[in-house]
Amino acid sequence: MKKFNYKITDPVGIHARPAGQLVKVANQFDSEIVISSGSKRVDAKKILAVMTLGVRFGQEIKVTISGADEDAALEKISAFLKENL
C-alpha cells in the first residue's frame, strides 16, 4: 500500500476537466486508488465520485494506492497531480 498527500494548487480546485483526466489516468491501473478529503473517501476511477469531493484551492487530498501495480500508479498519479492540479 502506498500513500501520499497533495495540496491542490489549481485556483478552481478539482473541477470537471482535470477530474475526468485524473479518472482516465487512474483507470490505466489494476490497483485500487482512493482519494480522501476530510472524512470523504472516493474511488479515483469514478468521475462522479471524484467530483463529489468538492476539493478547492489550497485543500489537501490523500491518495491511497494498493495493488500489484501500485508503484507505477503512484508515479503516474503523482505526476498528473503536480502537472494539472
**Paired strand residues for 28:** none
Q: What distance in Å separates the CA atoms of residue 9 and residue 16, rounded to the nearest whole number?
A: 15
Give the active site residue among 2, 10, 13, 15.
15
Question: Under DSSP, is residue 12 helix (H, G, I), strand (E, B) or coil?
Answer: coil
Mark whether 15 is an active-site residue: yes
Q: Which residues are catalytic?
A: 15
